[in-house]
A = this chain, B = another copy of it.
Amino acid sequence: MMTDNKIVLGLDFGSTAVRVLTMDLLTGKVITTIDQAYEEGTFGIFTSPENDLLARQKPTDFICSMRKVLRKAKLQNEAIGIKMSSVAGIGVDATGSTPLPVTREMLPLSDLEEFKNNLNAYAWMWKDHSSYKEARHITETIKKHRPQFLDKIGGAYSSEWFWAKILHCKNSDASVFDAAFTWMEISDFIPATLSGCNDALTVKRNICAAGHKALYNTEWEGFPDQQFIEKVDPSLVRILQTLPEQTFSIATKSGTLSKEWADEFGMSEGIPIGMGILDAHAGAIGSGIKDGSLVKIIGTSTCDLVLSDLNSGKSNLKGVASVAEESVLPGNYGIETGQSAVGDILDWFVKAVLNNEKTHNDLTVEANKLRVGSSGLIALDWNNGNRSILSDPMLSGLLIGQHLQTKDFEIYRALIESTAFGARTIIEDMERQGVIINEVVNCGGITHKNTLFMQIYADVINKPMKIAASNETVALGAAIIGAHAAFKEENSPTSFHDLQDRSCKILDKVYYPMEENVRIYNDLYNLYKKLHDAFGIEGTKIEMYGVMKELIQIKNKATKK
Contact = CB atoms under 8 A, between A and B. Distances in A.
A548 interface: yes
A381 B537 CA distance: 26
Nearest to A401: B396
A548 B535 contact: yes
A376 B376 CA distance: 25
Contacts of A547: 535
Given A396-B552, A408-B353, A403 B52 contact: yes
Contacts of A540: 543-545
A303 to B, nearest CB: 17
Which bucket holds chain A's interface residue count? 35 or more
A104 to B, nearest CB: 36
A532 to B, nearest CB: 11
A534 B341 CA distance: 27
A355 interface: yes
A352 B408 contact: yes
A538 interface: yes
A408 B355 contact: yes
Contacts of A352: 404-408
A418 to B, nearest CB: 11
A344 interface: yes
Nearest to A550: B394
Interface in A389-416: 394-408, 411
Given A404-B384, A405-B352, A396 B548 contact: yes
Contact of A545 (B402, B404, B535): B535
A34 interface: no
Nearest to A397: B402
A371 interface: no
Contacts of A399: 397-400, 402
Interface in A337-392: 341, 344-345, 348, 352-355, 357-358, 376, 382-384
Interface string A530-561: 00001111111111110111011000000110
A397 B352 CA distance: 20
Contacts of A405: 52, 348, 352
A315 to B, nearest CB: 30
Contacts of A264: none
Contacts of A536: 545
A541 B543 CA distance: 5
28 contacts: A52-B403, A344-B404, A348-B402, A348-B406, A352-B406, A352-B408, A353-B411, A354-B354, A355-B408, A382-B548, A383-B402, A383-B404, A397-B401, A397-B402, A397-B406, A398-B398, A398-B399, A398-B402, A399-B399, A399-B400, A399-B402, A534-B544, A535-B544, A535-B548, A538-B545, A539-B543, A540-B544, A541-B542
